Structure 1
Amino acid sequence: MSDLGRPARADDGSAELAVSVYGRFKDLFGGERVGRDRARREKAAARTVDSVPYGPGRDPKGLGDVFENLTTRLGWDSPLAQHDLLANWAVVSGDENAQHSEPLSIADGVLVVQCDSTAWATQLRHMRHDILVQISERYPQAGVESIRFQGPGAPSWKKGPRSIPGRGPRDTYG
């Protein structure tokens, strides 16, 4: 440096002096610094190899691929598939069957479906195998192993202060 704080010009010999001093220090202390600096340089070298433009793995990815990778890493595959199955019940069971049934929940590998009547519940029980095949093909991550079809719920007669214990009326309600 010159006395005014500006870098010295190369013609006054200071550049040659700096190179010789550097060479001497390198001979005395070795070519590489030890400790944390070496690890830091190795990490930086690894990052620069990975972030080379037009290098492998640097191609742009579609938004669908990014979300699929994210959901797989976070373990959201099964819950997302289950909710997609519940939302698209008409696709799996058929339009007419979906008009008379509604999937309620999936718990412990069992899909619970509420039907409009006991006749529809019986009809869907006969189709259980075909519906399970559709589910396993379209939503394999949902983890559905069986289906339970329920008829409509009977009204409760256990209301009021003067109700008596017993089985109640003997009608099927559906």
Structure 2
Amino acid sequence: MAREKLAQAKADAAKRGQLPRREPRRRAAGPRREGGDPQLFGRAIRDLLSDRGWERPAAVGGVFGRWADIVGPELAAHTKPEGFEDGEVLIAADSTAWATQVRLLARTLVRRLNEELGEGTVTRVKVKGPQHGPRPKGLRVTGSRGPGDTYG
């Protein structure tokens, strides 16, 4: 009796065109996304960055994160990027000597950063030397500045 019912159900399904498949279903070529369907994480992040207009700041942050790979380990040991605004990259150096070195390499740095970020993204490199506060004033402070460059 169960076999008769199974045969009857198969015959009814065949009439409606809903027979079970014997071979596995093949996926359609290329990604297909309908509303609410999951998507790849990388694609979702790219879409989010594009929708919010965050592509350039994210790219600049990526370059800042790979600073040592871009400028080399020796220069990266003495400098670090601190900001990017209106095409200008602000770089802090740990001594006046390294600040001067970065100023001499500014044109090369602009070219290298534009290779990473896209032509015309960086127009200028601004270098900031070591930041020490104002000299203290008081009874026991001498009036002379002392020897020349004592920052390194």
Report TM bin, short chain: 0.5 to 0.7
- Deviation, 1:155, is 3.8
1:69-88 alpha-carbon deviations (Å, 9 max, x no partner)? 22112111122122222222
Matched, 1:134 2:133: no
CA distance in 1 between counterparts of 2:48 and 2:132 reads: 45
Equivalent residue of 1:58, what SS? coil
CA distance in 1 between counterparts of 2:127 and 2:121 reads: 17
Residues 113-152 of structure 1: matches in 2 within 5 Å? 113-140=91-118, 143-152=121-130
Return 5+ residue gaps in structure 1 as ranges: 1-52
- Deviation, 1:112, is 1.0
CA distance in 2 between counterparts of 1:89 and 1:150 reads: 17
CA distance in 1 between counterparts of 2:48 and 2:120 reads: 17
Return 5+ residue gaps in structure 2 as ranges: 1-26
When normalised by structure 1's length, the TM-score is 0.55
| Larger-gyration structure (1/2) | 1
Equivalent residue of 2:83, what SS? strand
CA distance in 2 between counterparts of 1:168 and 1:85 reads: 43
CA distance in 2 between counterparts of 1:65 and 1:142 reads: 26
Equivalent residue of 2:92, what SS? strand
- Deviation, 1:136, is 0.9
**Of 32, 57, 60, the match for 1:58:** 32
The RMSD of aligned alpha carbons is 3.4
Aligned to 2:14: none
**Count of residue pairs the alignment pairs up:** 119
When normalised by structure 2's length, the TM-score is 0.62
Aligned to 2:131: 153
**Of 133, 142, 145, the match for 1:169:** 145
